[in-house]
Copies of this chain bind each other. A is one copy, B any other.
Amino acid sequence: MILKSQVEWALHCCAILAGLPDGRYLSTKALAEFHGLPKEYLSKALQSLSQARLVDSTLGPSGGYRLSRPPAEITFLDVVEAVEGKERSFVCNNIRANNPCRPEGYCDAGPCAIARIMWDADEAWRASLRAVTLAMLVQSLEKDVPPALWRESFEWVMKRVG
């Protein structure tokens, strides 16, 4: 049960996109260079974000991606679900139905108790991710990163926005 590395990449890219001036685009190439990642493969993560309508894309020179909503309106859960999918982490195959003591054609009332508990935990995880927005992430980062590095990184990005 390990999240794919795409999730990490997507979150870091969203952090950068969240800092862009309104309406400006940043290309996969720039994002890949900034994070030291393979451009071709990173593009798949960004495609997932695009298909989930979290980012807009534009073609041609000075094209790329931008957030489709304000950073305060995009949660970690949005990003994680865009890459990992919205399926619950626990799938119930209802193996209790194989109980040899069951009468023929017996039908269960509700979901199995084990599934309920596992789904509750899954929901706790999602709730935790839903509580954090990209805007909050940027605030955290600004506190962590030294001002000089922060400024230089911003300028590095600004030289490459479309």
Contacts and interface: CB of A to CB of B under 8 A. Distances in A.
Interface of A: 1-5, 7-9, 11-12, 15, 33-37, 76, 84, 87, 89-93, 95-103, 106, 109-110, 112-114, 116-118, 120-122, 124-129, 132, 137, 140-141, 144, 149, 152-153, 156
21 contacts: A1-B1, A1-B3, A2-B91, A3-B89, A3-B90, A11-B118, A12-B96, A12-B114, A34-B98, A35-B96, A36-B95, A36-B98, A37-B98, A76-B117, A76-B118, A76-B121, A99-B153, A101-B153, A120-B128, A121-B125, A121-B129
A95 B132 contact: no
| 6 tightest A-B CB contacts, nearest first | A36-B98, A121-B128, A125-B125, A113-B140, A124-B128, A101-B152
Contacts of A101: 149, 152-153, 156
Contacts of A113: 137, 140-141, 144
A89 B156 CA distance: 32
A102 B149 contact: yes
A120 B137 CA distance: 13
Given A120-B128, A124-B124, A125-B121, A90 B149 contact: no
Q: How many copies does the complex hold?
A: 2
Contacts of A93: 5, 8
A35 B96 CA distance: 6
Contacts of A109: 144
A99 B140 contact: no
